[in-house]
């Protein structure tokens, strides 16, 4: 049994015992707040401005998806699962599709795998752009410098959404993945549109870096704030840029490849330090890496069928194998996994139990550890750097 | 009529009322200007439709604020709650009473200040005293709203305001020591005859001007020092519980404070309405003053829309570790400079 | 995968079968649950992935309603894979908590308690996570109807 590191704060501090005189102030960063990334409530116990204990209460966006999915078939599950991480919707669908395909042993044709990789990387760029905008918004002010950066990043994100609209018909929540491949074929001019996006991003991302790290105040607000050491990060189940910002070299795109990542070289960005600045640097580096990956494969999409299965005639077409299966992919937020338990025989089209393993829930569970000892102003910086999306946390 | 105008009471009303009107109009239309300016910085437009170039947006917003229901929270401290929005505007406008907006060269070759409501001999002291009082209404609003967020914001505002007054006062002493007078018209007259303080004192002038500018930003709770109204954390700071025109008064006071701070910086360091030896007629003096103060005003909002905000303890650290020693050193250097020039 | 299974088979004989591994994850008795997790943590599986509880209602006349709790851990290296195992307990039983080993188990186990009803023994703060504090029932039970009314929320 491992010995718990004694400097780790105790998230279950008994406030009544700790503060018998009731001098601490309980402040509710309530469900309605400009900076809590969705509806979330954090109850802070403050000693002056320093936080002694933080208790987050998720669940305001809980829609009972897991119970719902026990009655739905694969075709019906995909649009529902889309709504979890609503900032990076493509990867939600891909997680479910990959889980089903691996369970049933269905092979995805190369064309679909390359297309999925491009979509995943574009989603990663879009998600990190949105993250950068909201992060600087939190640090700088809704009326103030942060808003300027947000306007710029959203302008670029619009181009990515236009690209997706060209492919699938909708800007968000595409329903474009099926078991065995993709549904929407690449239209004419789409490749050029993607190339235009990457060319534009290569100019813009250095500008964003200049606006952020070039500003001394940004560095002051993010360095040394919200430090997660590697052991705590691994124990908590943090993943994605949160884990890599703490120095752990782990990326599912390289370590357990999915889509076309076994044919592409992925350079994983790792930063030491574990503070908000490190996580910010990891995400910026991932932006550059995504641009590079897209550019390297956009011209090499192989020809061929887009799906290895015939289109399903009835929504009961996809059956689930008996037993427990767990498969995951790397989304912009980390490891999004799907744990499926199939029914008694191999003929059931609805899962007996479907659990989504959301990366943001683990990020949020880090809050009681990270917030202790910081001030209220740091709460927004830390929350922003962890990048939780409440749709994913609550499902 | 001229004899009656030289009676300070009559002059105060006859000139003061139009000045107040002009300042309040500037404060109101500064919102329009800021919205267009920040919009262009952010790749969007800003108000364009309501009236010519969107100018009537100000009137529309004002009407909207006025017709809101006047709610006082049940547990709020009523007298303080009602009093708090009134004071900031009053204090800022009173500060503007000693600023000479124009001036002219008289027959003896001396600069005479004009268009000042009350040419006090202790003009700088008056300004700094009122700036010090500005902390009270913000704290009152924070306390009286009966809201933990506003309490936090009020406490932060008091800490910040009180701390940054010290470098402000110290650096405002630099023109006083250099020119030997506390009256603003005297300072401007000295600058008209000997050169603007910002370049007249070798690099002390520029440094003290920058420090005065930053300390005024901190007093006015502007980004990067706007922790008391930190939108992202405290959802609007002390004005969160204020509705309608009461809250509008706080916002108006903010714009006025920045405008008056810019005007003070021009008067103390940039020579007021002086435009070198060009003998400008009296009515062009305010134009020159407006250009100088206006560019500082633009700078303040440019900073607001590009930079982030300091955390509360970093703000305090900046004040006490950097600004206060720097301001003390600058005053001493100014004194040395004056003594040296007196010798030479 | 085979090496860790071989190690587990030597350490916990009778539970893990290295030749014919159960694809759904081996069934581990509840009292060895923490020991298995600790052993895996020492052998490189340091990343806590998730815990999943499911409700298996009583089948037939003599069947007992059970919970099945699956735990997934991952090794954050090259050639990473997720290792999972299952624990079955009767409905009034408890699964020992992994909180002392993995800090992330705290919220995951709370969520499974909230939605499925699995109790975790020794958990420092076992209360509801997603649903309001005064909600009655555990929604992911198989006999909990999806339209169950629960004023004022539905």
Average pLDDT over residues B148-174: 86
Distance from CA of C119 to the nearest CA of A (A): 18
**Hey, where are the domains in chain C?**
28-121
Mean pLDDT of the residues in chain B: 84
Instruction: Report yes or no: A181 and A108 within 8 Å, Cβ to Cβ.
Output: yes
* Nearest residue to C116 via CA among C141, C79, C94: C141
H/E segment holding residue B33: helix B8-41
Is A140 buried (19+), middle (13-18) or exposed (0-12) by CB count in 10 A?
buried
CATH topology of domain C28-121: Beta Polymerase; domain 2 (3.30.460)
pTM, two decimals, is 0.86
pLDDT in tens, A88-134: 888 888 998 898 888 888 888 888 889 999 999 999 999 999 999 88
Indicate yes or no: CB of B308 within 8 angstroms of CB of A375: no
Rounded CA separation A201/A157 (Å): 10
Average pLDDT over residues A16-39: 74
Place A285 in a pLDDT band, splitting at 50, 70 and 90. very high
Residues 6+ apart with CB under 8 A from C125: A12, C106, C110
Asked which of A72-76, B15-19, C144-148 is least confident by mean pLDDT, the reply is: C144-148
For residue B28, the model assigns a pLDDT of 87
Place B277 in a pLDDT band, splitting at 50, 70 and 90. low
* Nearest residue to A47 via CA among B152, B145, B161: B152
Indicate yes or no: CB of A68 within 8 angstroms of CB of C146: yes
Indicate yes or no: CB of A365 within 8 angstroms of CB of C54: no
For residue B119, the model assigns a pLDDT of 80
Query: When comparing pLDDT for A7 and C145, which is higher?
Result: C145
Neighbouring C-beta atoms of residue B231, cutoff 10 Å: 21
Instruction: Report yes or no: A257 and C69 within 8 Å, Cβ to Cβ.
Output: no
Contacts A211 to B, Cβ<8 Å: 306
**3 state DSSP class of A106:** coil
Place A230 in a pLDDT band, splitting at 50, 70 and 90. confident
Comparing CB atoms, the residue among B43, B149, B232 nearest residue A137 is: B232
Residues 6+ apart with CB under 8 A from B90: none
Contacts A238 to C, Cβ<8 Å: 104
Residues 6+ apart with CB under 8 A from A197: A122, A125, A156, A159, A160, A163
Domains for chain A: give ranges and CATH numbers. Answer: 65-394 (1.10.645.10)
- Token match 């015992």: residue? A17
Rounded CA separation B111/A252 (Å): 75
Rounded CA separation B219/C129 (Å): 44
Query: When comparing pLDDT for A1 and A294, which is higher?
Result: A294
In order of A159, A197, A198, A254, the CA distances from A298 in angstroms are 17, 12, 10, 19
**Chains C and B share 3 or more Cβ pairs within 8 Å:** no
Rounded CA separation B164/B175 (Å): 18
Distance from CA of B114 to the nearest CA of A (A): 37
Neighbouring C-beta atoms of residue B204, cutoff 10 Å: 21
Residue A338 has pLDDT above 80, yes or no: yes
For residue A5, the model assigns a pLDDT of 41
- Token match 């534009």: residue? A200
DSSP bridge partners of A25:
A46
- Token match 């020991």: residue? C35
pLDDT in tens, B27-76: 888 889 988 988 888 888 888 888 888 888 888 988 998 898 888 888 88
Average pLDDT over residues B168-173: 90
For residue B3, the model assigns a pLDDT of 63
Tell me, rounded to whole angstroms, the distance of Cα B241 from its chain centroid.
25
pLDDT in tens, B92-102: 999 888 888 87
* Nearest residue to B102 via CA among B298, B295, B271: B271
DSSP bridge partners of B105:
B111
Rounded CA separation B162/B122 (Å): 22
Give A252-317 as a DSSP string.
HHHHS--TTTTSS--PPP--SS-SHHHHHHHHHHHHHHHHHHHHHHGGGPPPS-SBSSPPPSSTT-
Residue B256 has pLDDT above 50, yes or no: yes
Strands C26-27 and C47-56: unpaired
* Nearest residue to B15 via CA among B90, B87, B100, B89: B100
Place A6 in a pLDDT band, splitting at 50, 70 and 90. very low
Tell me, rounded to whole angstroms, the distance of Cα A181 from its chain centroid.
22
Rounded CA separation A282/A386 (Å): 12
Q: Tell me which residues of chain C, numbers 101 to 130, contact chain A at a CB-CB cutoff of 8 Å.
A: 101-104, 106-108, 111, 115, 124-125, 128-130
Average pLDDT over residues A199-208: 91
Token pair for B276: 């070198």
Rounded CA separation B284/B312 (Å): 43
Contacts C70 to A, Cβ<8 Å: 324, 326, 339, 341
Token pair for B263: 């005007």
Indicate yes or no: CB of A337 within 8 angstroms of CB of C49: yes
For residue A2, the model assigns a pLDDT of 37
Rounded CA separation A388/A116 (Å): 24
Q: Which residue, among A8, A13, A58, A339, would best test binding to C if mutated, counting the most C CBs under 10 Å from its CB? A: A339
DSSP annotation of B311: -
Q: Where are the alpha helices (DSSP H) in A214-251?
A: 216-222, 230-236, 241-244
DSSP annotation of A107: P
Instruction: Report yes or no: A123 and A89 within 8 Å, Cβ to Cβ.
Output: yes
Contacts 24+ apart (CB under 8 A), C109-114: C109/C51, C111/A361, C112/C51, C112/C52, C112/C53, C112/C69, C113/C53, C114/C138
Place A226 in a pLDDT band, splitting at 50, 70 and 90. confident
Length of chain A: 395
For residue A1, the model assigns a pLDDT of 35
Token pair for A272: 């030491």
Instruction: Report yes or no: A386 and A366 within 8 Å, Cβ to Cβ.
Output: yes
Residue B279 has pLDDT above 70, yes or no: no
Neighbouring C-beta atoms of residue A305, cutoff 10 Å: 12
Residues 6+ apart with CB under 8 A from A256: A328, C79, C80, C81
Token pair for C111: 């969520």
DSSP annotation of A185: P
For residue B296, the model assigns a pLDDT of 92
**Hey, where are the domains in chain B?**
1-67, 73-343
Scanning every residue of chain C, which has its alpha carbon at the shortest distance from the alpha carbon of A64? Answer: C139
For residue C21, the model assigns a pLDDT of 75
pLDDT in tens, A358-369: 899 998 888 888
For residue A142, the model assigns a pLDDT of 65
Neighbouring C-beta atoms of residue B271, cutoff 10 Å: 28
Strands C119-121 and C94-96: parallel
Place A312 in a pLDDT band, splitting at 50, 70 and 90. low
Mean pLDDT of the residues in chain A: 84
Contacts C48 to A, Cβ<8 Å: 234-237
For residue A203, the model assigns a pLDDT of 92
- Token match 């649009």: residue? A79
For residue A216, the model assigns a pLDDT of 82
Rounded CA separation B177/A294 (Å): 64
Instruction: Report yes or no: C35 and C16 within 8 Å, Cβ to Cβ.
Output: no
Indicate yes or no: CB of A140 within 8 angstroms of CB of B223: yes
Asked which of A333-337, C51-55, C97-101, C146-150 is least confident by mean pLDDT, the reply is: C146-150
Q: Does A343 touch chain C (CB under 8 A)?
A: no
């Amino acid at each position: 049994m491992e010995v718990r590191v004694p400097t780790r704060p105790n998230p279950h501090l008994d406030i009544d015992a700790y503060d018998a005189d009731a001098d601490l102030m309980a402040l509710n960063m309530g469900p309605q707040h400009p900076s809590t990334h969705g509806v979330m409530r954090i109850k802070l116990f403050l000693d002056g401005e320093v936080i002694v204990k933080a208790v987050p209460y998720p669940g305001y966006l809980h829609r009972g998806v897991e119970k719902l999915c026990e009655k739905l078939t694969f075709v019906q599950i995909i649009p529902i699962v889309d709504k979890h991480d609503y900032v990076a919707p493509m990867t939600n669908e891909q997680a479910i599709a990959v889980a089903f395909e691996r369970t049933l042993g269905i092979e995805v044709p190369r064309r679909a795998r390359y297309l999925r990789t491009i979509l995943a990387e574009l989603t990663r760029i879009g998600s990190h752009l949105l993250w950068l905008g909201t992060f600087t918004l939190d640090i700088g002010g809704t009326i103030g410098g942060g808003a300027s950066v947000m306007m710029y990043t959203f302008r670029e994100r619009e181009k990515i959404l236009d690209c997706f609209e060209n492919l699938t018909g909708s800007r968000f929540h595409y329903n474009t993945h099926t078991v065995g491949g993709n549904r929407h074929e690449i239209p004419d001019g789409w490749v050029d549109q993607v190339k235009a996006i990457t060319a534009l991003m290569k100019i813009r991302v250095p500008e964003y870096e200049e606006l952020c790290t070039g500003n001394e105040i940004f560095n002051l607000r993010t360095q040394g704030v919200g430090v997660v050491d590697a052991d705590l990060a691994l124990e908590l189940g943090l993943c994605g840029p949160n884990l890599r910002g703490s120095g752990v070299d782990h990326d599912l795109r390289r370590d357990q490849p999915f889509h076309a990542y076994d044919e592409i070289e992925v350079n994983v960005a790792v930063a030491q330090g574990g503070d908000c600045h490190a996580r910010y640097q990891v995400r910026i580096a991932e932006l550059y890496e995504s641009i590079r990956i897209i550019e390297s494969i956009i011209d090499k999409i192989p020809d061929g069928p887009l799906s290895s299965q015939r289109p399903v005639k009835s929504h009961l077409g996809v059956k689930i194998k008996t037993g427990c299966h767990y498969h995951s992919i790397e989304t912009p937020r980390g490891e999004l996994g799907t744990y499926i338990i199939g029914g008694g025989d191999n003929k059931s089209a609805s899962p007996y139990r479907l659990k989504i393993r959301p990366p943001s829930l683990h990020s949020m569970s880090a809050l009681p550890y990270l917030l202790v000892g910081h001030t209220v102003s740091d709460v927004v910086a830390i929350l922003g750097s962890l990048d939780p999306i409440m749709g994913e946390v609550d499902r | 009529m001229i004899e009656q105008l030289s009676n300070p009471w009559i002059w105060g009303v006859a000139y003061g009322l139009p000045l107040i009107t002009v300042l309040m109009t500037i404060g109101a239309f500064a919102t329009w200007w800021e919205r267009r300016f920040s919009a262009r910085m952010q790749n969007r437009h800003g108000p364009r439709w309501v009236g010519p170039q969107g100018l009537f947006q100000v009137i529309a917003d004002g009407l909207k604020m006025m017709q809101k229901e006047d709610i006082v929270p049940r547990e709020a401290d009523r007298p303080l709650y009602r009093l708090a929005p009134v004071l900031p505007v009053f204090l800022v406008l009173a500060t503007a009473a000693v600023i000479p907006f124009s001036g002219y060269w008289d027959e003896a070759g001396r600069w005479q200040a004009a268009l000042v409501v009350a040419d006090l001999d202790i003009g700088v002291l008056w300004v700094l005293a009122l700036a010090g009082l500005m902390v009270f209404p913000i704290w009152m609003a924070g306390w009286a709203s009966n809201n933990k967020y506003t309490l936090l914001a009020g406490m932060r505002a008091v800490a910040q305001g009180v701390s940054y007054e010290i470098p402000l006062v110290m650096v405002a002493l630099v023109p006083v020591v250099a020119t030997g007078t506390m009256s603003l018209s005297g300072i401007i007259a000295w600058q008209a005859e000997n050169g603007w303080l910002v370049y007249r004192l070798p690099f002390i002038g520029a440094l003290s001007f920058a420090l005065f500018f930053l300390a005024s930003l901190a007093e006015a709770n502007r980004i990067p020092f706007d922790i008391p109204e930190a939108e992202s954390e405290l959802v609007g700071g002390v004005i969160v519980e204020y509705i309608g025109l009461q809250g509008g008064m706080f916002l108006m006071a903010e714009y006025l404070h920045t405008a008056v701070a810019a005007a003070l910086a021009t008067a103390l360091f940039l020579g007021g309405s002086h435009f070198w030896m060009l003998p400008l007629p009296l009515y062009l003096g305010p134009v020159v003053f407006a250009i100088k103060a206006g560019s500082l005003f633009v700078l303040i909002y440019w900073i607001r829309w590009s930079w982030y905000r300091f955390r509360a303890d970093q703000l305090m650290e900046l004040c006490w570790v950097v600004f206060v020693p720097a301001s003390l050193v600058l005053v001493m250097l100014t004194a040395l400079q004056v003594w040296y020039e007196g010798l030479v | 995968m085979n090496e860790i299974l071989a190690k587990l088979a030597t350490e916990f004989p009778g539970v893990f079968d290295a030749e014919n591994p159960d694809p759904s994850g081996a069934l581990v008795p509840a009292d060895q649950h923490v020991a298995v997790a600790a052993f895996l943590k020492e052998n490189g599986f340091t990343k806590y992935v998730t815990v999943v509880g499911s409700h298996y209602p009583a089948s037939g006349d003599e069947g007992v309603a059970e919970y099945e709790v699956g735990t997934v851990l991952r090794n954050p290296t090259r050639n990473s894979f997720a290792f999972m195992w299952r624990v079955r307990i009767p409905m009034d039983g408890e699964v020992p908590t992994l909180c002392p080993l993995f800090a992330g188990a705290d919220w995951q186990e709370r969520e499974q308690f909230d939605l499925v009803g699995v109790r975790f023994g020794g958990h420092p703060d076992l209360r509801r996570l997603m649903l309001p504090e005064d909600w009655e029932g555990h929604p992911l039970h198989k006999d909990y109807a999806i339209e169950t009314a629960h004023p004022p929320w539905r």
